[in-house]
Homo-oligomer: A and B are copies of this chain.
């Protein structure tokens, strides 16, 4: 009995080893500054928690309709109207277990074996593995520091082949924090639609933007799949709740997939999410947190530049800084391990996000307090002074 061929191609998260080592060090009494974690340190606003508590205590935790609670779907439709000025029919909205579940639905509905799918390198590691699950092939499109790590239509068009079925893009992106502005996203949507391909627009970091509002792909027609989630901006990772907006051509297929694959998404989370969208107190709290993320970004960006990291693409959203560490090392894996051991700072090596420039990059997450970020920077400063003095250190 052998594992399946497609499943065997799926890669693990390399950062897991580093996480396990960080935990082991903590169990030995070491203090570790965590800058590797891809989830907000904040938890859901109180009004959201209490809506979840009410649903649970009222026994309102039965299966819901596969597409989600009607009141949540209509709250989301309203949200798109208010937030983006987009008129979105509820039938196109599917509540899913996280953006992860939404991605599974979109790709299951779209991919045939042998298809190629274009993805940014660096990018979110799960994309390529979802693609492999269906016997399709992820094709990396290396973004360049000189383009600000942007993946626009010119880059996609250059990579588009006869086997390309579609593309997945994210804005703000993980790991770069790069945002696609309206003209760039609009041109991209049009370009992909012109090829008759599918576009998955991952908008999970929307709301966590520190410049102009991020546009949604839905502003540029109704052909894209949009995935989003309550995990990041709404600080509800473990609630496992996200959504998919599907084009009308795929609504019926997605409905059948959702019924069969998930039955439904977590019910108390759905009730809580209604409050997350509608409660004014919760919305105000989330806005405060956005500002706090922005302060952290401003600090970390400057501090890393001062330490000698290269920041070719200034992060405009999400909660990551993707930094070039080639002044210190050509092996970002060894660098991250050593930084953990020597300085007690945990970061994610580039390898988890792609191949092209992975060994020269690391990702810093600002999902910890400003005080802890400052402590981490202080430790790195001391550590890097040592590295520079001793340039024969193993791995550098």
One of B5, B49, B196 near A57 (C-beta < 8 A): B49
Whether B112 lies near A4 (C-beta < 8 A) is: yes
- A239 contacts the other chain (CB 8 A): yes
A64 to chain B, nearest CB (A): 7
Q: For the complex, give the distance between the alpha carbons of A311 and B274 in Å.
A: 45
Interface residues of A in 10-64 (CB under 8 A from B): 10-13, 16, 39, 43-44, 49, 52-53, 56-57, 59-64
Chain B residues closer than 8 Å to A111, beta-carbon distance: 4
- Interface size classification for chain A: 35 or more
Which of the 9-residue segments A145-153, A247-255, A334-342 touches chain B? A247-255
The reply to whether the CB of A198 lies closer than 8 angstroms to some CB of chain B is yes
Q: In the complex where A4-B108, A108-B7 touch, is A61 in contact with B12 (Cβ < 8 A)?
A: no
A129 interfacial contact with B, CB 8 Å = yes
- Which chain B residues lie closer than 8 Å to A100 at the CB level? 261-263
- Nearest Cβ on chain B to A226's Cβ, whole angstroms: 15
| Stretch in contact with the other chain, from A83-91, A264-272, A323-331, A386-394 | A264-272
Query: Taking the complex as formed, is A223 at the interface, i.e. its CB lies under 8 A from any CB of chain B?
Result: yes
**Chain B neighbourhood of A238, CB < 8 A:** 60-64, 264, 266-268
Closest to A237 in B: B63
A240 at the B interface (CB under 8 A):
yes
Residues of B with C-beta under 8 A to A354 = none
The reply to whether B133 and A108 form a contact with Cβ atoms under 8 Å apart is yes
With A8-B253, A100-B262: A110-B3 Cβ-Cβ less than 8 Å:
yes
Q: Is A109 an interface residue (CB 8 A)?
A: yes
Closest to A57 in B: B49
- A117-146 CB mask vs B (1 if < 8 Å, else 0) is 000000001100110011100000000000
Q: Which 6 A-B pairs have the closest CB atoms?
A: A238-B267, A43-B59, A61-B238, A3-B253, A129-B260, A240-B266
B-binding residues in A (CB < 8 A): 1-8, 10-13, 16, 39, 43-44, 49, 52-53, 56-57, 59-64, 97-98, 100-101, 104, 108-113, 125-126, 129-130, 133-135, 196-198, 223, 236-240, 247, 249-250, 253, 255-257, 259-269
